[in-house]
Structure 1
Amino acid sequence: MLNPPEELPDCLYATQPTLIRPNTPTPKHCLTLSNLDDQKFLRFSIKYLYLFKSSINLDAMKYALSKLLVLYYPLAGRLRSSPDRDQKLEVDCNGEGAVFAEAFMDITADQFLELSDKPNRSWKKLLYRVEGGLTFLDIPPLVVQVTNLRFGGMILCTAINHCLCDGIGTSQFLKAWAHLTAKPDLPSPISPVHSRHVLRSRNPPEVTFSHPQFTVNKENAHVDVLRFLQSQPLVPTSLTFTRSHIHHLNRQCSPSLKCTGFEALAAHTWRAWVRSLDLSPSLNIKLLFSVNVRRRLKPETPQGYYGNGFVLGCAQTTVKDLVSANLHHGVKLVQQAKAELSDDYVRSMVDLLEDKAVKTDLSTSLVISQWAKLGLEELDFGEGKALHMGPVTSDVYCLFLPVIGDVGAVRVLVSVPERVAEKFGYCMTEFLDKEFNNGGEHHSINGYHAADNGIMEY
C-alpha cells in the first residue's frame, strides 16, 4: 500500500522578505528574449530545494547574492510583455532586486531527510509566495527562501524564471552564488553571457524541417492524455536506479545497439509509463526530452551562456509498437530523435516559434527533464554539500535527479494517477527479476521487488 505523505509544519517568518539588489549600478535596458526563451511551455519558475546539515551565515549569503546580481543583473529585473511585439517577452533590467525570505520550521534536518524521497504539497511552504503574484509576470525572476531548522539544519529553496535560464544556466548561477559565499575574495568562476541574439530567428524565417514536438492546433481533436492525467488524484513515484541497475538496462540492448545510460533509462521509463496507463494500442505516443544544443550550433554558443540553450528531442511511435517490442526499439527511437538535432534543425525550430500559435504538444507526451548531469548536487556555500537536492514539487513531467553520494545513480521522479502507481513501479522494476532469473545479480530498487502480483514493499 502507498503511504500517505507526511505534512510539514508551518514556516514561521520573524521578518518580512527583503529585496536583494545589485550592490553596484547595473545596465538599465530591456533584454529581448530568444524564441527558445519565451515559449509558453517555459513560463514558470524552476524550483530547487536543498537540505544542508548546517546553517549558512545569512549575511554572507545576502552579500554574495548582491555581488552576483551585478553580473546576472537581468535576474534582478522584471519580466514583461514587449510593447512592440505581440506575445513576446522581455526583461526590464531595472535592478529592483531578488526576493529573499527568512523562516524557521520546527523540524530537524534528519527528519526532513527521511521524507525527502517524495515531495508533497506541503513542501510549497518552504518557498515564499510573493504577495500580489496573480500572474506569471508578477513574480520576480528570482525568489529565495532560507528556512532554518531545529538543531541547526537549513533548507534553501530557489525559484528561478525558466524564461531567463535553463537547467545549465541555473546551475551556473547557483554554483557562482555558493562560490562567492564560501570564497568572497575570489572572482566568479564563469562570466555570464547575456546576449540572446545568438539564438534569434532568421529574417525571413525558414522552417525547413517537420517538428513533431509542436502543434498549431488550438484544441487537439485526438486523445489528450495530459488532461486525462491532471483530472485525477496524482501521487509522486520515486525510484533510484544505481549504476548497476542502469548497466542491466544497457545489457538488454547490447551487443546489437550501443547506448548511453540516459538513452536506456529514458526509453525504459517511457515504456513503463505507457504500459501502466493502459492506453489505446493505436494511439501515437511521444517522448519529449531535453537536449543541450549549445555545442550543436554553428557557431557554438559562448561559454557562460545561461539562457535557454536546450530543445526537446521527440521520439514517437504507437502504443502497440512501444509496448510489444523490447527496450531496443525505444532506445533506437530516442537515439534517432537526438541525431536529428543539428544546427539546421534547431534554426528551423527557432524560426517556427516566430508563430506564437505554435505550442509544445503535451497532449500525448511524457516529458523528461535531465537534472542528473548538471552538477546541482555539488553546491557548497562553505558548510558542506547538501544532504538532499531535488524539486519543491512533483508533477506529471518526469525528472531524472542526481543521487547524493552516488555519481552514477539516477532518481526518477514523476507523478502518476494513484490507481496506477503500483503498476508503474512494477513496470519499472520487473527487468531486475528477469536478470535474477537468468542468473544475474539482483538488487531491489528503493526496497521494491517486482513480483507477479505487483510491487511488494519490504
Structure 2
Amino acid sequence: MALLQPTSLVFTVERQEPELIVPAKPTPHECKLLSDTDDQAGHRFQIRGLHIYRNNACMQGKDPVRVIREALAETLEGPNRKLMVDCSGEGVLFIEGDADVTLEDFGDSLHPPFPCFKELLYELPASIDLLNSPLLQIQVTRFKCGGFIFAHRFNHTMSDAVGLIQFMSTMGEMARGAVAPSIPTNPPLITCAHLEYDHDKAATGTIMPTDNLVHRSFFFGPTQISALKRSIPDNLRCSAFDILTACIWRCRTKALELGPDEDVRFICIVNARSKFDPPLPLGYYGNALGYPAVETTAAKLCQNPLEYAIKLVKEAKGKVTEEGRPNVNTVRSLIVSDLSRARFREVDFGWGKAEFGGPASGEEVISFYIPSKNEEGKEGITVPVCLPAPLMDSFVKEINRMLKDDEATGG
C-alpha cells in the first residue's frame, strides 16, 4: 500500500527567545522592487520545510546552533541581497531549541507530515501574515542523540526551490569555513514579464472546501511504479513522473466527485532558468519558474484509460520549451512540483548530508515529489497530499485500486 502511516510521536521543545541575525557587516539600507516574475499572486504564500541531520562524531564539541547562526550572518553579508525587499539590515528571525527526544524516535521512514511540527518551527503570531513579516525564519532544534533539525519558513515571492537551495548551500559553505561563497553574488537581471493567472471566468462549478483538511503522504517506489505500468500498454513509453502524475491526477479528480463536464487542469511547476535569453546570471536566486498547463473535463480524465492522462502530462511538460507561458488558474487543478532532483539533502553544515530535506507538508493545491525511503529502506518518491478528510478517504481507496492493493484502505 502506498499510504505512509503518520507517527504518533509526541514531544516538546524548550525554545530560547527569538532573535534577529543581522548581516556580519553593514549593508545598504534601500528598497528593492520585486520583478513581475516574483510578484505574482501564485507566489504570495509562505513555504515551510526542514532538514534532518544525524549526529556526526567528526563534529564532536561543535554546536549546530552556533555554527548555523554564524554562517547565516556571513551569508547575509554583502550589497543588494535580494533576500530582503526592505533592506533594513534587521536580519533573519532565528530560534534556538532543544527537544526531549532522539531522531531514532521518529522511526525509520522520515516523511511529512512531521509530528509536533509547531514545536520544530515556532511561528510568532505577529509573523504569520505575508506583509510586514520576516522573509525568512529559521529554527535549529538539537536532539538528545546529538542530531538536529533545521526548520525554515520563507516567503515564496523571494525565491523558488533552486534559489533557496543555493542560499542554504552558501550557508553550508560558510559553516564549513569558506571565506566567500563559491557562487559570486550578482544583482538579479530581469529579462521578461510573467503573465498573471487568468481567474476562473465565472467561478462556477465545484470548488474544493478548505476546512477539515488532513495531510497524508504516499510512497511510490519501484514496486508501486511497476504496478501502475501494468495498467498501460507495453509499447507506451513514459517516465515514472508521467505515470505517477497521471495516477494522482486521476485519483484526486475521482475523489472530488466533480460534474462530468467540469474542467480540470494539471499544472507542472518547472525550473525555467535555461529558457531566459539572455540567461539569468549565476548567483540569481529569485523565482524563475514556468507553469505549463493542460486542461480536460472530469469525465474524459476519469473514464478514459490511464494513457489519456499520461498523454496530457507529457503535453504539459513539452510546453516548457515554447516561448511564453499559458495563463492558468488553480481552481480544480492539480499542481505538481517535482523536487526529486532538487538536492535539498545535499545542504551540508558540517554534519554531512541531511537524512531528509524538503517541504514539511503538502499545500492545499500543490503536491511535492520528494525523494525518500520507506520503512524497509527502499528508495522512492514521497508525495504529500492535502485534502478534506472525507475526500482523503476516497483518494486513498482510488490509489489502492490503481495499485491493485486489496488490503486496508484507511485514511
Give the TM-score range, shorter chain. 0.7 to 0.9
Task: State which drifts further: 390-399 or 135-144.
Answer: 390-399
Structure 1 stretches of 5 or more lacking a match? 78-90, 202-206, 353-359, 434-449
Say whether residues 1:418 and 2:389 are aligned partners: yes
> Partner of 1:215 in structure 2?
199
> Partner of 2:51 in structure 1?
50
Say whether residues 1:66 and 2:60 are aligned partners: no
Deviations 1:228-269 (A, max 9, x none): 2x13x2222211111453355456556554333222211111
> Partner of 1:308 in structure 2?
287
Q: TM-score, normalised by structure 1?
A: 0.78
- Asked if the contact 1:76–1:97 (Cα under 8 Å) also holds between the matched residues in 2, the reply is no
Q: Which amino acid aligns with 2:248?
A: T
Deviations 1:152-176 (A, max 9, x none): 2211101121101001111111122
- Asked if the contact 1:313–1:338 (Cα under 8 Å) also holds between the matched residues in 2, the reply is yes
| Aligned equivalent of 2:14, options 12, 15, 18 | 12
> Partner of 1:36 in structure 2?
37
DSSP 3-state at the match of 1:125: helix
Once the two structures are TM-superposed, the CA of residue 308 in structure 1 deviates from its matched residue by 0.9
Once the two structures are TM-superposed, the CA of residue 374 in structure 1 deviates from its matched residue by 0.5
- Asked if the contact 2:4–2:217 (Cα under 8 Å) also holds between the matched residues in 1, the reply is no
Structure 2 stretches of 5 or more lacking a match? 56-61
Give the 5 Å matches for 1:208-247.
214-215=198-199, 217=201, 220-226=202-208, 228=209, 230-231=210-211, 233-247=212-226
Give the 5 Å matches for 1:371-390.
371-390=339-358
DSSP 3-state at the match of 2:291: strand
> Partner of 2:58 in structure 1?
none
> Partner of 1:97 in structure 2?
91
Q: Which amino acid aligns with 2:277?
A: K
DSSP 3-state at the match of 1:178: helix
- Asked if the contact 1:118–1:237 (Cα under 8 Å) also holds between the matched residues in 2, the reply is yes
2 CA distance for matches of 1:141 and 1:159? 8
> Partner of 1:259 in structure 2?
238
- Asked if the contact 2:248–2:399 (Cα under 8 Å) also holds between the matched residues in 1, the reply is yes
Alignment CA distance shift 1:134-1:386 (3 Å): closer
DSSP 3-state at the match of 1:424: helix
Once the two structures are TM-superposed, the CA of residue 430 in structure 1 deviates from its matched residue by 3.5
Once the two structures are TM-superposed, the CA of residue 389 in structure 1 deviates from its matched residue by 2.7
Deviations 1:101-150 (A, max 9, x none): 10122121111246843416831221131352263112211110011122
- Asked if the contact 1:164–1:308 (Cα under 8 Å) also holds between the matched residues in 2, the reply is yes
Task: State which drifts further: 20-29 or 264-273.
Answer: 20-29
- Asked if the contact 1:169–1:306 (Cα under 8 Å) also holds between the matched residues in 2, the reply is yes
Alignment CA distance shift 1:298-1:123 (3 Å): same
Say whether residues 1:155 and 2:140 are aligned partners: no
Alignment CA distance shift 1:306-1:421 (3 Å): same
2 CA distance for matches of 1:243 and 1:192? 41
Alignment CA distance shift 1:364-1:11 (3 Å): same
DSSP 3-state at the match of 1:214: coil
Q: Which has the higher contact order (CA 8 A, sep 6+)?
A: 2
Task: State which drifts further: 3-12 or 367-376.
Answer: 3-12
Alignment CA distance shift 1:191-1:199 (3 Å): farther
> Partner of 1:22 in structure 2?
23
Once the two structures are TM-superposed, the CA of residue 37 in structure 1 deviates from its matched residue by 0.7
| Aligned equivalent of 1:365, options 333, 344, 347 | 333
Q: Which amino acid aligns with 1:378?
A: E
Report the aligned-residue RMSD.
3.0
> Partner of 2:316 in structure 1?
337
Once the two structures are TM-superposed, the CA of residue 2 in structure 1 deviates from its matched residue by 10
Q: TM-score, normalised by structure 2?
A: 0.86
| Aligned equivalent of 2:399, options 423, 428, 446 | 428
> Partner of 1:275 in structure 2?
254
2 CA distance for matches of 1:374 and 1:320? 34
Alignment CA distance shift 1:252-1:304 (3 Å): farther
- Asked if the contact 2:207–2:332 (Cα under 8 Å) also holds between the matched residues in 1, the reply is yes
1 CA distance for matches of 2:111 and 2:100? 19
Task: State which drifts further: 403-412 or 43-52.
Answer: 403-412
1 CA distance for matches of 2:163 and 2:272? 13
Number of aligned pairs?
A: 400
- Asked if the contact 1:6–1:115 (Cα under 8 Å) also holds between the matched residues in 2, the reply is no
| Aligned equivalent of 2:370, options 372, 390, 401 | 401
Alignment CA distance shift 1:29-1:410 (3 Å): same
Alignment CA distance shift 1:16-1:363 (3 Å): same
